[in-house]
Amino acid sequence: MKFDFAKQPTLPTSLKGSHEVIISLWEICAEIDVLKEKLNITSKNSSMPPSKDFKKIIEKSNGKRRRNKKKRKQGGQPGHTKHKRVLVPESEVDHVEKLPPKKQCECHGLVIPNGNYLRQQQFELPPITPIVTEYQRQEGTCCNCGKRHFGKLPNKAAHFILGPRAIAMVATLTGCYRTSKRNVVALFQDIYRFKISTGTICKAERIASAALKNPVEEAKKYIKNKKTEVHADETGHKEKGKRMWAWVAVACCLSIFIIRPSRGSIVAKELLGEDFSGTLITDRWSAYSWVSELLRQLCWSHLLRDFEKISERKGTSEKIGKKLIRLTEQMFKYWHQVKRNEKTKAQFQKYMAKKIPEFEKILKNGTRCKHKKTKGMCKEILKLKNALWTFVHKEGVEPTNNLAERTIRTHVIWTKTSFGTQSKAGTLYMERVLTVVGSCKLQQRNVLEFMTSAVDSYYENNEYPSLIPMNSEDSKCRKAA
């Protein structure tokens, strides 16, 4: 039965008509609940970023942004560890100025120097000018045929206006610091006092992409052959306005990026290897379902958002959601105590042995809920229940996928300030440069130095630098990230 709300209401004339009105109203109420749930989507109950929270946008536009009374003040908090800069050794200081004390004190007494100094250092940046090398190719003529000959350039670098380090700087600015091509042009002019064009930037990116090919391919093969914990995630990408997906896998202090048109399992297998035998830490996205549950760990941060969404529904759903949130928060509290060495892993396992059945019991109750979405979500989570508790029993496995999310954030922020890539070559460049930037950050290596070394080896046909660390300890990676 359809209602025309533009007209005056008409009363049903029969019992059947009354039943039709009740059924129609019931369906409308159900649709209203669905619309309300969509309106209430926030960063706490979905994967939507905090910047898009609808309530925050409304509060800002109305000028009534509410303040949290318990919000901490900016700056260092009471009791935090003080960070003090270590002085550079005097042997490495460029200039030393010794400043004697004043000769007379305020009390009119004579001040006698005692030979001790209070050291204080100031850092200054020198004016930077490019190093210009001119290649003068001497001409010669064949005395027999008259053919002209010129001196041979030393390497491929001489054919391009930018040298290896300048090319590496372009790649670092566009890949690591997400600087646009026009801003790179402006930066070169303002800081290096050197005029270049956006076309030069594009060519420099192509050279950098070719230079990074071997290190990136080596890292891809390495991560596939390691039986270790792998954090994986994916996010949107655009190439010429076409929808694509950027994938990341983080393991062994390496972050591997690939950009493909699909978000399906084919790409996941390409990224991880079809014979994957490590431990995969991800959300519940179906592209990873080909990996055995015994080799997976679902991200509890994502699950907490799901529980939050359940708790915002009425009736039984609200009770189930709140119980799951309470248990999850208790679990995280205990886990953080283990990470701070306040509790042992054995104590945590003993604690979780009591909590796991409680979790699963609540989820089973959720499968009997009348709300279709709550019922379906609980069923889906229970299907993967073997992947919920891997971190409890297996050493080195984290309960969240935060490592991959922090790593892929570089790409997410880059997409917000650009129109994506405009060619396959541009997409390949981003794929390679993000792999290098992410891996160098995890290993606390200098991105510019690695880029320079890669471009140098590309020009000189020398052994390329490796992204694979000498000692790939995951704990160090997480700390660096």
Assign residue 108 a region (left: φ > 0; alpha: ψ between -120 and 50; beta: otherwise).
Answer: left
Question: What are 426-478's pLDDT values in tens digits?
Answer: 999 999 999 999 999 999 999 999 999 999 999 988 899 999 987 644 445 54
Residue 442 identity (one-letter amino acid): L
Residue 233 has pLDDT above 60, yes or no: yes
**Percent of the chain beyond pLDDT 70?**
88
Read off the DSSP letter of residue 421.
Answer: B
Name residue, tokens 């380090």.
165
DSSP characters for 377-392?
Answer: HHHHHHHTGGGTSHHH
Q: What is the CA radius of gyration of the chain?
A: 31
Assign residue 236 a region (left: φ > 0; alpha: ψ between -120 and 50; beta: otherwise).
Answer: beta
Confidence of residue 63 (pLDDT cuts 50, 70, 90): low
Residue 162 has pLDDT above 70, yes or no: yes
What is the sign, positive or negative, of the torsion defined by CA atoms of 213, 216, 222, 224?
A: negative
Interatomic CA distance for residues 195 and 185, integer angstroms: 7
Whole-prediction pTM: 0.81
- Read off the tokens for 192: 């290096």
Residue 252 identity (one-letter amino acid): C
Q: Please provide the distance, in angstroms rounded to a whole number, between the alpha carbons at the two ends of the chain.
A: 58
Given this model, what pLDDT does residue 478 score? 45
Interatomic CA distance for residues 250 and 247, integer angstroms: 10
Average pLDDT in the chain = 88
Interatomic CA distance for residues 305 and 129, integer angstroms: 52
Interatomic CA distance for residues 438 and 216, integer angstroms: 11
Interatomic CA distance for residues 402 and 286, integer angstroms: 19
Distances (CA, A) of 236 to 47, 242, 373: 13, 10, 26
**Percent of the chain beyond pLDDT 90?**
69
- List the beta bridge partners of residue 296: 280
Interatomic CA distance for residues 278 and 251, integer angstroms: 10
Confidence of residue 44 (pLDDT cuts 50, 70, 90): low
Given this model, what pLDDT does residue 1 score? 58
Q: Is 320:365 a contact under the CB 8 Å cutoff?
A: yes
Sketch the domain layout of the chain as residue ranges: 138-277+422-481, 300-393
Residue 178 has pLDDT above 70, yes or no: yes
- Phi first, then psi: give them for residue 434, nearest 5 degrees: -70, -35
